Amino acid sequence: MSQFDVVVIGAGPGGYIAAIRAAQLGFKTACIDAGVNKAGDAPALGGTCLNVGCIPSKALLQSSEHFHAAQHDFAEHGITVGDVKFDAAKMIERKDGIVTKLTGGIKFLFQKNKVESLFGKGSLKGRNGDLWQVEVENKGEKSVVEAKHVIVATGSVPRPLPLIEIDNVNVLDNEGALNLTEVPKKLGVIGSGVIGLEMGSVWKRVGSEVTILEAMPTFLAAADQQIAKEAFKVFTKEQGLVIELGVKLNEIKNDKNGVTVSYEVGGAAKTETFDKLIVSIGRIPNTEGLNAEGVGLEKDERGFIKVDGECRTNLPNVWAIGDVVRGPMLAHKASDEGVAVAERIAGQKPHLDFNTIPFVIYTDPEIAWVGKTEEQLKAEGVEYKKGTSGFAANGRALGLGKAKGTVKVLACAKTDRVLGVHMIGPMVSELVAEGVMSMEFSASSEDIARIVHAHPTLSEVLHEAALAADKRALHG
């Protein structure tokens, strides 16, 4: 029976990073994962993020943006193109190539760092003295390895919708939405979160009529509402997405005529029939097959594995990270937790601040934020000041043909310390890192305002917003 210092269950963004960092720290490490490639004939590391989540969705977003630009934006640049055609199957093929390259890259990193990769489903069997026994099941064949420490990184799965079963033919989850080889004439989306907005945007740009149905009465409730309202206006009035809020679903039928959704909104009954329906109502922790109950691993009322502030579970030397524990379900949060746990096992004292984890939605324009929203600060009774600036007069944004959007900086009214940075606009997924850095180093809005920003760059809009927080904007 093989023995390891650290065994990681799950090779998603949290698990594979935890395994690599543990190996770098000198631990004999193994990582167990049951992921397979799209064809189902070979292992595929990387979890949901690399295979059917973050990475493939960004590939499709980029392809659809290029198609839309060729149709609508190139003429402004003096570029005339002929009959622009779209090949959905080719777009999916390109996406699959990127996924294959990156998942293969993890395999290479495991080999480089001497992480043993074990294919199969991992489950906790119990203790053998000071060691944990972990079973690896692969197509009915079972083996057992032992470890001093176990890191559970089993991620999350799509939340099911009781009204309809996902078949990934007409009723799709995130995986099905990433593998459409034909453009549906009418596409319905249940849920206006990250997945719903990103996938809705992709297929809208390439020709679908898209309707998004959202149960919440508020659009992007987790985001700063000034930014959310601007986004809603852009998506609906300018891009043509139909977004219904405050929706109550009554019935969904999947038959030869399509997927028919009966619902109520604002007291009015409505019925829509779609060619395809994407269900994206959030995700739930994945603990199936882990044998949590069998070994006494505690979970909370929502199914998340209970951990303390350092990701320790109630079981000795068993840790849990990523989507399977509390906190935002974000790949970068999982990765940093994985690094932190490996370093804690080594006796180090790393720190991860949930208040400075950035959030990004990769629509066009992009949406990104870090820290507190204006609504949260008001609810908490925090005195604050704010500065805003737009991309409309930014030279770089105008040159890109993407001069829409806003940056907002929120700072403490007494100390000027940055409390939140919120953005909608071009490439704000990259720009938000400056806000994260500022908050990590306890910067003030004046600190950002006094840093020289290159000209012409998109970052000047953040600089201007920081100036505006102190009522000394130069271009507003």
Beta carbons within 8 Å of 170's beta carbon, 6+ residues apart? 254, 258, 259, 275, 276, 277
Q: Annotation-wise, does 181 bind a ligand?
A: no
Residue 476 in marked binding region: no
Q: Is 332 annotated as a binding residue?
A: yes
**Residue 192 is labelled as binding a ligand:** yes
Tokens for 270, please give them.
């409505």
Residue 405 assigned to a binding site: no
Rounded-to-integer distance, Cα 46 and Cα 10, Å: 9
458 is in an annotated binding site: no
Cα separation, 190 vs 389, in Å, equals: 33
Maximum distance among all Cα pairs of the chain, rounded to whole angstroms: 73
Known binding residue 155? Answer is yes
Q: Specify whether 455 is catalytic.
A: yes
- Does 323 carry a binding-site annotation? yes
To the question of whether residue 63 is assigned a binding role by annotation, the answer is no
DSSP state of 412: E
Beta pairing partners, 171: 277
191 is in an annotated binding site: yes
Catalytic residue (choose from 72, 77, 455, 475): 455
462 marked among binding-site residues: no
331 labelled binding-site residue: yes
DSSP state of 77: G
Do the annotations mark residue 156 as ligand-binding? yes
State the DSSP H helix or E strand holding residue 339, giving kind and residue range, or none if neither. helix 331-345
Helix, strand, coil % (nearest 5) of the chain?
A: 35, 30, 35
CA distance 14 to 47: 9
On whether the CB atoms of residues 262 and 254 are closer than 8 A, the answer is no
- Please tell me the distance from the alpha carbon of residue 426 to that of residue 29, in angstroms, as a whole number: 41
Distance between CA atoms of residues 434 and 418, nearest Å? 11
Residue 266 CB coordination number (10 Å): 10
Are the beta carbons of 382 and 407 closer than 8 angstroms? Answer: no
Tokens describing residue 401: 């043909």
Identify whether the C-beta of residue 172 lies closer than 8 Å to the C-beta of residue 184: no
Quick one: angle between helices 54-72 and 88-112, nearest 10? 140
Rounded to whole angstroms, the Cα distance separating 134 from 474 reads 61
**178 annotated among ligand-binding-site residues:** no
- 106 CB-contact burial (10 Å; exposed 0-12 / middle 13-18 / buried 19+): buried
45: annotated binding-site residue?
no
- Binding-site residue positions for NAD(+): 191-198, 214, 282
- Binding-site residue positions: 58, 122, 154-156, 191-198, 214, 282, 323, 329-332
Catalytic residues: 455
- Binding-site residue positions for FAD: 58, 122, 154-156, 323, 329-332
